[in-house]
Amino acid sequence: MTDSPQGSGALVAPHPSTPAVNPRLLLTVEIPQTMREAPRWLVWRLEPNPDPTKKPRKIPYYCDGSRRQGVLDTQADWDRLCTFEQMLEALDTGRFTGAGFALGPDGTGNHWQGIDLDQLDQRSELVAVGEALPGYIETSPSGTGLHAIGYGLPFKSLGSNQSGIEAYAAGRYFTVTGDAVRGDIEDVSAFVVETLAPLHSPGRDTTRQTAHPVPGESFHAKMNSKALQTLSAWVPALLPKARPYHDGFRVSSADLGRNLEEDLSILPAGIKDFGEEVGRTPIDLVLDWGPAKDATEAALWLCAQIGINPATLGWKTRQAAQPRENARPEPPPQGDGSPAAASDPAPRANGGRSQPSIDPGAVTVVTASSIKPEPIDWMWEGWIARGKVEVLAGAPGTGKTTLAMALAATLTIGGRWPDGTHAEPGHVLIWSGEDDPRDTLVPRLLAAGANLDRVHIVTGFIQGGQKRSFDPSKDALVLADHIAEMDPLPALLIVDPIVSAVAGDSNKAAEVRRALQPLVDLAMLRRCAVLGISHFTKGSAGRDPVERVTGSLSFGALARVVLATARLSEDEGGGRILARAKSNIGPDTGGFAYDLELHEPIPGIETTRILWGDFLEGSARDLLAQAEASGADPEERSAIADAKEFLLAMLRDGPADVKKIQREARDDGHSPETLKRAKKALGVQSHKQDFAKGWIWSLP
């Protein structure tokens, strides 16, 4: 790295009038190699502060353009951080102000660390401190401060105050300019504890700093995970004023004795301090509010409260040598840790992203006798269960959304389900990408008699001060964070259509499973039922109803219950049926007749509502077969006609590649069988282009 202009490494206060240099060039030239290889990069954008009296805010974004928020320093957060090269590509779009680097744990037992000295041009007492800074040091974006970045042991954060000193090893990111002063990556924890902490908070007991775990040790990480699973064993002992909140606890700032309005949320999914706007760990809380003076003592205290032997989490009693001041730790492992892996320039399978050495964790095994059996928590006995994902699918025209609104209304008023049983009153959260709340959803809820005060509708997503449409394929984790803060929690979440939760190919099982997992986790963690609405694939009459759900079979496989709808033929008396097509947790046969009725809930607003009929015996396949017999279902009668129109449009301008036709037909909802029948009906011809190319179709 380059020294300061003084040559000797001495440091003077930076000045904002320093001549401008291409920031991208500085990043590519001056950043230490250890930082370049770490997949910890972000971008940031300067945005107006809601308080016009304050300076603009530097808002962090992942390189895909989504705002970094929620619980930080988790695997989910790490997975969204990007490589150095990806960060440069994001900057090249011109949408962001600068580069950022995420501080905090990386899964090896070490932490990325940051020190910020602010306004050195106005704080002469900090100039000497700046000259002694360890680590990689660069000028901050303002030009009047210094940032030092290190890697090593964690320490207790030094937050913003009048001292002009800040230091973090978790829950933060640093802007990166590449305007280097001197230095390289080394452990700065001793400097923070021994030099900065007394200057930052005179009179504070600086011995209570975060611990010095052995690099690579997983005991502390395992302890944090275990503590999140057993909150009731230690939170009341640590924070007696904590009150039960969902499946965890919440503590007001007043009860914490601090002058802030926001609360501390402690949940199995993670700990969030809304006052400091950072994620926390159980060990952090014990350090802040308990008897421990370092992280190891905090972890051992948690073990005692929970009643587990620390050795089961990998703890070994040892006489650990104290780190030498400003000692440089081993750099984050790259590849397999061998010299060849560290120097091999060949691109990796994941696009060149260097892999940190992640704590492999430990398998937990218990005897079956130690597990207390629990019954399925039914919302509607045999049909909709709390904590599970259900799918409601059928052909267009069967009133699926109206049906979902009727079920939601029953829940909000504690009414009766179609079988006559009472519903326990609850709240409902709805997202619909197909229907307008004003002219469709709310009128149908009114027609069904819903308590609208218990219905919550997702209307959009705000990111970077800009509002956009909510996208369940990208925003499910943020939605889960929002649900965690709702009081009471919604008992039912309706997602219409559920295929929108898949950003990739909805016909690929692996992509569907990966995309739907956040919804599965949300249902389990928040104990709410998730009802996803879907369609039947055109031309799929006669097949198993679960196989008819549009997209990959994984939609039906992940759902614990699949409900199917169809129209009855006029010979059967008309109307519609709701059938139980699949259930892994209860009966999987039977159904109910229902019909749609026009209704005017308030003058001038006309909509539809559900009229329930009798219970129907039989399997869903048999019930739907009756409804679709002799082509009674208008959707099935039109399937071939729709496929013919599709083929005419594809081939109107000339021959087209067969694979392209089949792919677009699948995306448009046409089954292979229907496409084949439409091809035959139109007399479409098949030709082999030549030996090296594939088949094409053309009109006669």
List the domain boundaries for the chain.
23-200, 219-313, 378-631, 639-698
Which range is least confidently modeled, 258-272, 354-368, 470-484?
354-368
Sign of CA dihedral 484, 290, 253, 170: negative
- Beta carbons of 576 and 633 less than 8 angstroms apart: no
Q: Per the CATH hierarchy, to which homologous superfamily does domain 378-631 belong?
A: P-loop containing nucleotide triphosphate hydrolases (3.40.50.300)
Contact 546, 582 (CB under 8 A): yes
The residue whose two tokens read 């259900």 is 390
Separation CA 566–CA 397 (nearest Å): 9
3-state helix, strand, coil in the chain (%, to 5): 30, 25, 45
Q: What average pLDDT does this structure show over 375-398?
A: 90
| Structure-block tokens of residue 333 | 């492992």
Amino acid at 197: A
> To which H or E segment does residue 228 belong?
helix 219-229
Bigger pLDDT: 27 vs 458: 458
Residue predicted with more confidence, 516 or 351: 516
Question: What pLDDT digit, counting tens, does each position of 280-339 carry?
Answer: 788 888 888 888 777 788 888 898 888 888 877 877 654 333 333 444 444 444 433 333
Percentage of the chain beyond pLDDT 70 is 80
pLDDT for residue 603: 92
DSSP E strands in 455-575: the ranges are 455-457, 461-463, 466-468, 492-496, 529-535, 561-567
Dist. CA 575–CA 595, nearest whole Å: 5
pLDDT for 16: 41
In the chain, pLDDT over 90 holds for what percent of residues? 23
Encoded tokens for 31: 């950043």
pLDDT value, residue 83: 94
Two structure tokens written together for 484: 């965690």
- Alpha-carbon Rg for the chain, nearest whole angstrom, is 30
* 45: its two tokens: 């954008």
What amino acid occupies position 339?
A: P
Preceding peptide of 202 cis, ω within 30°: no
Single-letter amino acid code for the residue at 317: T
State the pLDDT at residue 62: 93
- The per-residue pLDDT of the chain, averaged, comes to 78
Find the range with the poorest average confidence among 255-269, 400-414, 455-469: 255-269
Give the residues across from 147 on adjacent strands: 116, 138
CB 171 within 8 A of CB 158: no
Domain made up of 639-698: CATH architecture: Orthogonal Bundle (1.10)
**Of 41-45, 59-63, 304-308, 605-609, minimum mean pLDDT range:** 304-308
Using a 10 angstrom Cβ sphere, with 0-12 exposed, 13-18 middle and 19 or more buried, the burial of residue 64 is exposed
Query: Which residues lie closer than 8 Å to 191 by C-beta, 6 or more apart?
Result: 115, 132, 133, 134, 325, 326
